Amino acid sequence: MKLPKALSNISEWTDHLFTRFSARRGWLRPLQIDAYRSYGTAQKFYIKGRLLADPGLTAATATDTRWQNFRSMVRRFNSREVAGADLVAELPDGSQHLVSTDDEGYFTLVIEPQALPAPVNFLWYPVPVRVARLPSFLTLPAKAIATAAHVLVPPPGAEFGVISDLDDTVFETSATNIVKMLGRVLFSNAQSKQPFAGVAEFYRQLQRGGTGRPDNPFFYVSSSPWNLYDLLAEFLKLHDIPSGPLLLRDLSIARPKAPVPAGVTGSAAIHFAHKLHEIDDILTTYPALPFVLCGDSGQEDARIYREVVRRHPGRIKAIYIRDVQIPERAALVGPIIEELGRVNVPMVLETDYAAAAAHAAGLGLVG
């Protein structure tokens, strides 16, 4: 067994041991289901979430100190997840769908609904999920542990979908500088983060497209860990940025088993493999829907999106890359712009979202 996998197994084992110990001493907080916004079609729903103890987070404010933000971040990452529990998802047709949590408390369920639940906020379809059985060291409380998983189903009038990165695309993370990145992640909250100028309006324009109706679905694919889900979801809501499934990454030491181009190694390989896998799944789910891709020049977005174009010819209408103003990174994007131009896929490198909006209007993507 390779060292990273062995270390990951040891980490999981110690987590389970501490969760059991905390439960037996009465220290474990009440359990909750974190159901992540996901996506699907009228024929197939994809549901993902996690069963864990309430981390005890308090509502963030813009005046929270760096120390308060750091304490909240520690609580997010020091989660007490519950493995080996059975959960049930229920649909309006009366069908029940069983799923068990894995070693890190995650569950993934793919179901084929016979009847859709009534939508909430136009694009979103709620699916009730509850805990049916807990492992032997825990007992079910009198009050059910339950929530609703919200599944996005694009309407027939959707002109295209939008797949966007978050870090250094929607807000500044400084992902190319590990020290700055850690400072921004560990000492900020959803209230203190600020989106780049113009990004919220540009994304709302893309959501409305040429028809003026908010039919075009958004999907956010990021290498941020699932532990940050609540913070990112709150950030999008606070700044009126179109909501969409947040497709994040399991915080695991082990490297994912997915192919990456030669020369892409280390954290870049993990980032590349995760994002390409998630984007492939989205485009496969909606074979008749074209897409617009949004990212930045700081990491691997341009190369990932080039691979998406290769794998899904004729599916990508335009690609918008925010320039993080690191010359060597911009230099890597230039040849990709030329390459994709030869297959009639415009890739635009811009520092200004107003310029991106003007380009999109020229293509007829926005009114």
The per-residue pLDDT for range 149-187, each reduced to its tens digit, is: 999 999 999 999 999 999 999 998 866 667 777 877 888
Band (327; pLDDT cuts 50, 70, 90): confident
Nearest to 95 by CA among 75, 65, 116: 116
- Predicted pLDDT at 266: 67
Question: Tokens at residue 314, please?
Answer: 């004729």
Of 317, 364, 363, nearest to 340 (Cα)? 317
* DSSP for residue 299: S
Distance CA 218, CA 6 (A): 37
Cα–Cα distance for residue pair 4/11, rounded to 1 Å: 11
Averaged over 30-35, what is the pLDDT?
A: 94
- Measured CA to CA, the distance from residue 135 to residue 149 in angstroms comes to 22
Q: Give me the CATH code for the 29-152 domain, please.
A: 2.60.40.10
| SS3 call for 20 | helix
Q: How confident is the model at residue 3 (pLDDT cuts 50, 70, 90)?
A: very low
For the stretch 238-252, pLDDT in tens is 999 999 999 999 876
Contact 223, 271 (CB under 8 A): yes
CA angle 235, 273, 350 (to 5 degrees): 55
Provide the pLDDT for residue 265.
Answer: 63
Angle at 233 between CA 27 and CA 64, to 5 degrees: 65
Q: Is the CATH number of domain 161-362 3.40.50?
A: yes
Instruction: Return the closest-CA partner of residue 159 out of 315, 293, 291.
Output: 291
Question: CA of 130: how far to CAs of 144, 148, 270, in Å?
Answer: 7, 8, 32
| Alpha helix positions (H), the chain | 3-24, 66-77, 178-186, 199-208, 229-238, 266-285, 301-311, 327-341, 353-362
Write the pLDDT tens digit of every residue in 184-230.
788 888 988 889 999 999 999 999 999 999 999 999 999 899 999 99
How far is it, in rounded angstroms, from Cα 207 to Cα 308? 21
270's tokens: 């993990």
Q: Can you tell me the distance from the alpha carbon of 345 to that of 316, in angstroms, rounded to the nearest whole number?
A: 7
Round to whole Å and give the CA distance between 249 and 161.
Answer: 21
Cβ atoms < 10 Å from Cβ of 327: 8
Is the pLDDT assigned to residue 4 strictly greater than 50? no
Torsion angle, alpha carbons of 91, 97, 98, 100, to 10: -80
Confidence check: pLDDT of 8 > 60: no
**Choice among 257-261, 307-311, 361-365 with the minimum mean pLDDT:** 257-261
Sequence ranges of the domains in the chain: 29-152, 161-362
- How many Cβ atoms sit within 10 Å of the Cβ of residue 240? 12
- Residue 34 has phi, psi (to 5 degrees) of -95, 105
